[in-house]
Structure formats: structure tokens, C-alpha cells
Amino acid sequence: MARKFLIETFGCQMNYHDGERITGLLESEGYEPTTDEAAAELIVMNTCSVREKAVGKVRSRIGEILDAARERGDKEPMVAVTGCVAQQEGQKLVADGAPIHVVVGTQAVKQLPRLLDEARVTQKPRVDVNPYEDVSFPLGMAHDSDPVRAWVTIIEGCNEFCSFCVVPYTRGHERMRPVRDILAEVQRAADSGHIEVQLLGQIVNHYEAPDEDCDFAELLHRVHEVAGIQRIRFASPHPRHVSQQLIGVIRDLPKVAKHLHLPVQSGSNRILTAMRRRYTREIYLEQIAALRESIPSIALSTDMIVGFPGETAEDFDLSMDLVRQSQYHAMYSFKYSPRPNTLAVKRMPDDVTEREKTRRIVAIQELQAQIQTAIYESMVGQIESVIVESKSRRSDSDLAGRTSGNTVVNFAGDATLVGQMALVRITAASPNSLRGELVTHVD
């Protein structure tokens, strides 16, 4: 009988897509996926190191799984750790005799089946965090976990080296996928019934094809031509690489979502310099103005860090002011916490108190909630084009989908509409989503 495995994924969309690829890889080796923790002979912890106390959380979760197996009287499953924590910690994860059988880094994922076999034979943990240059997976290898949206990686790694960010150390240097491979994967997604595709990269809009003359704006044109795809999203872009050509593509191509996630991180030029973001608040706000002038309906979202080393009350006030001016549809905000190997942890004392970080993040989240509520309430009465993604988590009789601007809409409808485009009239707004009524679905 096939060995059953369960994957628990933490982190960003790239991590979730990595989980799809790991699933496909293990299935090709005769494993069988399961959602039942008690039935799994292999647990794969697909990790993210961006969040605070990531290593401790992984260890704690492994302990919970093994304790539950002992309480049931079951044989303990094998445990493999993949993703950014695996790359970051490597041999340290097993140095203290932790019950981990395999540690495989972000650029060595394809070695997972071999390492599992070796761990079974040797009864010793196997670790591989080597920077393999070829990290591509064969077309069709990834297991499609979402029936509506397909994720397609276009860039691996990052060369930006922002002072707070661990990604270049866990994902490696920037490597562009050939445009022919990307388009083949998008075509496969369309052929298998996916109507939305999301292009992924640490700095997705820095894409330059290695096999022909094709930048990110041109790639969006090429993807737009793929029959069957009805909406195109991408994550995450960098403000430094938002060109007039990209703005024009978002404006002119109907399938490209009218949403742009534009991570600013801080509203203070002094802090932006310390973060090595390589733009100023003035340049960023000019970009916001240019986007809104060209695409008045565009929905903007951002990331914001509070309590970065050296951030004063005046610096934080500048971040608050930038949020007021930018009028984001959504914001992801975080308290700064040191990350291994980064420039900030090596050179900058973490000198903002935890109490002050908490005060600042509460303040900026309250401000964003006010802005977001006003934006959502202004949408009441509008008819929005929504891709229906699933049944609503709130009610079995409701469906959930997203507007072109990436806002969640819940509305009553038949489950047969999942995977289709629908026109929905917005009837009510809540802090994080909209309520609507079905007008019609779009064939």
C-alpha cells in the first residue's frame, strides 16, 4: 500500500505553491496524500521564516503531532521539514536529537524522496540545504490544490537584500524561468479548467526572460493571450520596478486584475534608507498618484513594518501620514522582529520596545480599518465582476469570490457557480469583506 503523507504549509503564496509541487513530487514516487493526521506515515512541515519565532513554532507543532500519535498508540510518523526554516537552520534542526528525519532546503526540494529513503535505511536524519541551480519541476508535476486559481512561479530567489528580509538567504539569488516554460504552465492551467492564474516571484515585476526579449509587462501580454484564462494576478511587485509600461498593461488588458500590491514598509525616508528599499516616500507617493490617474478604479494594498531599529515617533508619524494619503484597500502590518543573517540583525540594535511596537501597530491598524471601511462602504450599490472561488466559510448557502480589486464578496448562490465569473451587486460592507446579490453569471 502507498505510504500516506500530510503537508502543513505556513507562509506566503510561494510556500503554498511549493506545497503543491511537493505533493506532486511525492505522488510521482508512489506516496498518497491525506488530510487525516492520524493516517499519515509522513508529515511534511513546509515552513516560512518571515514570521516571528518561526523555528519555535515548527518545533512546537511537531511535538503536538508526535504527542497525539503516542496518545493514540500509533507508530510515530516520519517528519520532514522543508521551506525557509529548513534552509535557514539546516543541521541545527536535528543537532539536539529533535524527532526530525529529513531537512531539505528551498533549492533542494527535488531531493526529498531520496532523503526519505536514506533516512529509513540509515535510521539517521538526512539534511540537504545545498544551493542546487536547477530547481525547476517538470511541467504538470505540481498538484493543483485550488480548482479555480493556478499559481505559476516566474522567478526564484531575490537579489534586493533589504536589510530586514531573510528571503535572499533562504531562497537564494534571483533566477528567471524561461518564458516558454511559464506559458506552457499557464496553458496547462487553462486546459485543466483554471480560470485565474497568479504569477509568483519575490520581485515578480523584475522579470526578464532568459530565453528571449520579454520583460514583465510583455509577459503579461503573452499570458493575456492564453484562451480560457479570465483573470491574471501577480505577487509580489517592488515599487522600484513599477514602470509606465506596467501601469499601461494593468490599465489596458481586461484580464489583468485592477489591483496592485505595492509594499512600502515605512513612510520615513530615513527608515527606508536603513531598510535598503532604494526609493523615497516622495517617489512612492508619485507612483500612487500616477496609478490612480491612469487607473482610477485600481485597488492598492501594501505591507508596513513598525518598530524598525531606530524608528522614532516622528518616523512612525510619517508612516501614518503615508497611509492616510495612499488610501489602501488592504494593508498587512507587522511588528519588526530580527531575522537571522540579515543586515539589520548584524548592524542595527532592536531598540524600539515591545510595548511601543504594540502601540504603533494598533494605531496603524485602527487607521487602516477606518480607511478600509470607508472604501468598502463606498462600493455598496456597485456591480462587481467576481470570480466565484468556493462556498463561503460563513454559510453553506453562500458563495465566496473576489473582485478584480481582490476584495472578498459573499453572496447567496448555487455551488455550481464555483469556478465561474459572476456579476454581483454589492449590498453591504463589513470591515474585511463585502456582501452582495447575484445579478448574473458570465459564460
Q: What is the pLDDT of residues 222-263, one digit of tens each?
A: 999 999 999 999 999 999 999 999 999 999 999 999 999 999
> Contact, 104 vs 82, CB < 8 A?
yes
Taking Cα atoms as reference points, which of 173, 181, 170, 191 lies closest to residue 54? 170
Please report, rounded to a whole number, the percentage of residues in the chain having pLDDT higher than 90. Answer: 82
Tens-place pLDDT, residues 187-233: 999 999 999 999 999 999 999 999 999 999 999 999 999 999 999 99
Taking Cα atoms as reference points, which of 285, 19, 40, 295 lies closest to residue 142? 19
- Confirm whether 404 is domain-assigned: yes
Q: How far is CA 166 from CA 203, 264, 410, in A?
A: 14, 17, 36
Peptide bond into 236 cis (omega under 30): yes
- Confirm whether 135 is domain-assigned: no
Report the C-alpha gap between 199 and 150 in whole angstroms. 9
Range of the domain at 427: 383-442
- Burial (Cβ within 10 Å: 0-12, 13-18, ≥19) of residue 97: exposed
Residue 307 sits in a domain whose CATH number is 3.30.750.200
Domain boundary residue among 324, 346, 378? 378
249 in the same domain as 166: yes
Report the C-alpha gap between 416 and 221 in whole angstroms. 31
Number of structural domains the chain divides into: 4
Report the C-alpha gap between 4 and 44 in whole angstroms. 11
290 in the same domain as 184: no
Q: How far is CA 131 from CA 111, 126, 135, 257, 422, in A?
A: 12, 16, 9, 34, 45
- Confirm whether 35 is domain-assigned: yes
279 in the same domain as 350: yes
Confidence (pLDDT) at 52: 66
Residue 22 sits in a domain whose CATH number is 3.40.50.12160
45 in the same domain as 121: yes
158 in the same domain as 78: no
> Contact, 204 vs 223, CB < 8 A?
no
395 in the same domain as 371: no
Q: How far is CA 205 from CA 179, 199, 208, 277, 344, in A?
A: 14, 10, 9, 15, 25
* pTM for the structure as a whole: 0.88
Domain boundary residue among 378, 400, 425? 378
370 in the same domain as 278: yes
Helices (H), 277-342: 281-294, 313-326
> Contact, 363 vs 379, CB < 8 A?
no
Say what angle helices 313-326 and 354-378 make with each other, to 10 degrees: 10
Report the C-alpha gap between 82 and 272 in whole angstroms. 32
271 in the same domain as 367: yes
- Confirm whether 53 is domain-assigned: yes
> Contact, 152 vs 178, CB < 8 A?
no
- Confirm whether 134 is domain-assigned: no
Taking Cα atoms as reference points, which of 107, 103, 108 lies closest to residue 89? 103
Please report, rounded to a whole number, the percentage of residues in the chain having pLDDT higher than 70. Answer: 96
Report the C-alpha gap between 370 and 227 in whole angstroms. 40
Residue 429 sits in a domain whose CATH number is 2.40.50.140
Confidence (pLDDT) at 142: 61
236 in the same domain as 192: yes
What's at 16, amino acid-wise?
Answer: Y
Report the C-alpha gap between 17 and 143 in whole angstroms. 9
Confidence (pLDDT) at 275: 98
Three-state SS at 432: coil
Residue 191 sits in a domain whose CATH number is 3.30.750.210
* Beta bridge partners of residue 261, listed in sequence order: 301
Q: Which residues of the chain have pLDDT under 50?
A: none
Domain boundary residue among 64, 99, 128? 128
Share in percent of the chain as helix, strand, coil (round to 5): 40, 25, 40
